Amino acid sequence: MTILYGIHNCDTVKKAKTWLEKAEISYQFHDLRKDGLESQLLNDFANKANWADLINKRSSTYRGLSDDVKTSLTTQLDIDVAISTVLAQPTLLKRPLLINNEQLHLGFKPNQYQQIFNHE
């Protein structure tokens, strides 16, 4: 099963959804704001990717964090701070997050999705 995680109004998520639909790939969409983000799912993401890679450092949410929290999320990881901060503000996650064949893929680039789904 393919699951796309993101925020409904995110432009990059929209591009990923459009690509999947044009390629006729069945997927489930999970809106991190509407459907929520639970600690078990966040831990699953963290087990499949580096914490620093999961964080969207370009987001306005990230830019609004204190320097101490930014450091706890990226360079000197404090797992408790990271989990509580991301659970409270799921827009800190890089989007979209794609789970396909139990593998996590971050972001969207057409060439990346072509390789994931072996499409020409």
The tens digit of pLDDT for each residue in 46-100 reads 999 988 899 999 889 999 999 999 988 888 888 888 899 999 999 999 999 999 9
| pLDDT given at position 73 | 87
| pLDDT given at position 37 | 96
CA torsion, points 10, 15, 19, 24, in degrees to nearest 10?
A: 40
Residue 120 has pLDDT above 50, yes or no: no
- Strand order, beta sheet including 103-106: 28-31, 3-6, 97-100, 103-106
Name the amino acid, one letter, at 57. K
Distance, in Å, from the CA atom of 80 to the CA atom of 78, rounded to the nearest integer, reads: 6
Residues assigned a catalytic role:
10
Q: And the tokens for 55?
A: 């964080």
Distance, in Å, from the CA atom of 61 to the CA atom of 89, rounded to the nearest integer, reads: 8
- The residue extents of the domains of the chain are 3-117
The CATH architecture that domain 3-117 belongs to is: 3-Layer(aba) Sandwich (3.40)
Residue 28 burial by Cβ neighbours in a 10 Å radius (0-12, 13-18, 19+): exposed
pLDDT digits (tens, 9 = 90+) for 37-56: 999 999 999 999 988 899 99
This prediction has a pTM of: 0.90
